[in-house]
C-alpha cells in the first residue's frame, strides 16, 4: 500500500483497468479504520462520563488517540473523494468504472465522512467542553479553593498550598495549550485539504479550457476552408452552385452556434 496520502491519490488516479484498480484496497482499509474508530469513540464516551478527565491518564490517552485517528480517517476519505472526482471529470480514461460503480463509491465516501463528522462533532461539542472544564475546576478546588488556603496556618502550610495551586494552574494552562494546538492542527489539515481541492479543480478547469481551445482551432480551420470555398463559388453565377453556397453558409452558422454554446456551458 502507498505510504502516504499523495501516493494513494496518484495510484488511484493512474489506474485504467478493473484488475489494477486500488480503490477497493483503500476502501477496505478505510472501512477497517472506521470500525476501530467507532470502538475507540465508544470507549472514549464511557471514560468521559465516568472519569475525571483532568486526572485520568486513560481518558487523556483515549482523547488524544481518538483525535489522531479522526484526522487520519478524514485524510483518507478526502483522498478517495479526489480520486472519485478525477474519475467523474475524465470518464473516457476509466471505461471499466460504470456509472453504478461510481455512484456506489460516492455513497461510500459520503457515509464515511458523515461517520467521521459525527465523532469529530462530539469531540468539540459544548457538552464535552463543559465536562472537561468541570473536571478541571474540581481538581483545582473550585471556588472554595481560595478560602481553604486562607484558613491554613501561616506556619509553612500556606506556602505549600500556594505552590501546589501554582503547579495545578500551570498544568491547566499546559493542558489548555495542548487542546488549542490540536484544534489548530485540525484546522490546518482542513485548510490544506481545501487548498488541494481548489488546485485539483483549477487543474481540471485548465484541461477543459485546453480542450475547448483545440475545438475552437478545429472549428476555425473548418470555417476558413468553408470561406475559401464560398469565395470560389460566389465568383460563379450557376444556380446549383449558389444553392450549395447557401447550404454551406447554414453549416457555418450552425458551427458558430455550437461553438458559442460550448463556451457558455463552461
Q: Taking the CA atoms of 215, 216, 217 and 221 in sequence, report the sign of the dihedral they define.
A: positive
Residues 177-216: pLDDT tens digits?
Answer: 766 676 676 666 667 666 766 776 777 677 777 777 887 8
241 Cβ neighbours under 8 A, 6+ residues apart: 233
Residue 75: how many other CB atoms lie within 10 Å: 16
Among 44, 65, 41, which Cα is nearest to 53's? 44
CA distances from 136 to 55, 168, 172, 197, 265 (A): 8, 9, 7, 40, 58
Q: Looking at 108-117, 163-172, 177-186, 242-251, which range is the least confident one? A: 163-172
Among 155, 162, 126, 157, which Cα is nearest to 141's? 162
Q: What is the pTM assigned to this prediction?
A: 0.56
Q: Are 106 and 38 in contact (CB under 8 A)?
A: no
Residues 207-264: pLDDT tens digits?
Answer: 777 777 887 887 788 778 777 776 776 666 556 666 766 777 787 778 777 776 766 6
d(CA 190, CA 117): 12
Amino acid at each position: 500500500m502507498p505510504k502516504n496520502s499523495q501516493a494513494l491519490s496518484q495510484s488511484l488516479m493512474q489506474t485504467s483497468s478493473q484488475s489494477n484498480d486500488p480503490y477497493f484496497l483503500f476502501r477496505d482499509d478505510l472501512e477497517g479504520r472506521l470500525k476501530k474508530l467507532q470502538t475507540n469513540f465508544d470507549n472514549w464516551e464511557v471514560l468521559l462520563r465516568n472519569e475525571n478527565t483532568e486526572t485520568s491518564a486513560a481518558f487523556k490517552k483515549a482523547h488524544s488517540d481518538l483525535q489522531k485517528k479522526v484526522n487520519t480517517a478524514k485524510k483518507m476519505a478526502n483522498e478517495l473523494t479526489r480520486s472519485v472526482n478525477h474519475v467523474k471529470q475524465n470518464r473516457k480514461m476509466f471505461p471499466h468504472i460504470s456509472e453504478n460503480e461510481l455512484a456506489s463509491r460516492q455513497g461510500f465516501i459520503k457515509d464515511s465522512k458523515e461517520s467521521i463528522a459525527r465523532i469529530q462533532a462530539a469531540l468539540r461539542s459544548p457538552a464535552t467542553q463543559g465536562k472537561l472544564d468541570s473536571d478541571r475546576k474540581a481538581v483545582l478546588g473550585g471556588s472554595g479553593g481560595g478560602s481553604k488556603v486562607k484558613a491554613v496556618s501561616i506556619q509553612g502550610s500556606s506556602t505549600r498550598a500556594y505552590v501546589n495551586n501554582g503547579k495545578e494552574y500551570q498544568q491547566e494552562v499546559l493542558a489548555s495549550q495542548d487542546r488549542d494546538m490540536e484544534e489548530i492542527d485540525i484546522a490546518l489539515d482542513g485548510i490544506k485539504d481545501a487548498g488541494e481541492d481548489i488546485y485539483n479543480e483549477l487543474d481540471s478547469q485548465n484541461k477543459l479550457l485546453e480542450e475547448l481551445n483545440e475545438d475552437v482551432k478545429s472549428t476555425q480551420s473548418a470555417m476558413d476552408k468553408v470561406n475559401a470555398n464560398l469565395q470560389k463559388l460566389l465568383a460563379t453565377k450557376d444556380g446549383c452552385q449558389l444553392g450549395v453556397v447557401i447550404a454551406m453558409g447554414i453549416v457555418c452558422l450552425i458551427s458558430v452556434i455550437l461553438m458559442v454554446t460550448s463556451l457558455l456551458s463552461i
